[in-house]
Amino acid sequence: MYGRITRFEVIRGKEEELANGYREQIKRLKGQKGFKDAILLVDDASGSVVSLTLWETKEEMDATLVPGGFVEQVLPLISPYQQTKPVFTTFKVQARASET
């Protein structure tokens, strides 16, 4: 399993709108091959945002980043609320709570 962390800053006062856009993104993610889960974390004090998505394989996760792919299609749902551009980082999942 693989995970992608996306980091950016939210425009102050737009946290709820961001969360609503993210919920819409999750609905669409559920239709993507290999998608497992997603979570959005927002630090109210700093405006820092972390999104975590989990995928069955690295290939399925990477397929969402190709030009014209899923990420490019859904960014309009959350970009109006971003103060900074998103930065993507990929990880291999080594342990999960559900495995213990």
pLDDT digits (tens, 9 = 90+) for 9-27: 999 999 999 999 889 888 8
Cα 67 to its chain centre, rounded Å, is 17
2-93: which CATH topology? Answer: Alpha-Beta Plaits (3.30.70)
Tell me, what's the pLDDT at 68?
82
Q: Which long-range contacts (CB under 8 A, 24 or more apart) does 13-18 make?
A: 14/80, 14/81, 15/42, 15/44, 15/81, 17/80, 17/81, 18/42, 18/49, 18/78, 18/81, 18/82
In the predicted structure, residue 98 carries a pLDDT above the cut 80? no
**Mean pLDDT over all residues of the chain?**
91
pTM: 0.87
Indicate the pLDDT class of residue 93, thresholds 50, 70 and 90. Answer: very high
**Three-state SS at 37:** strand
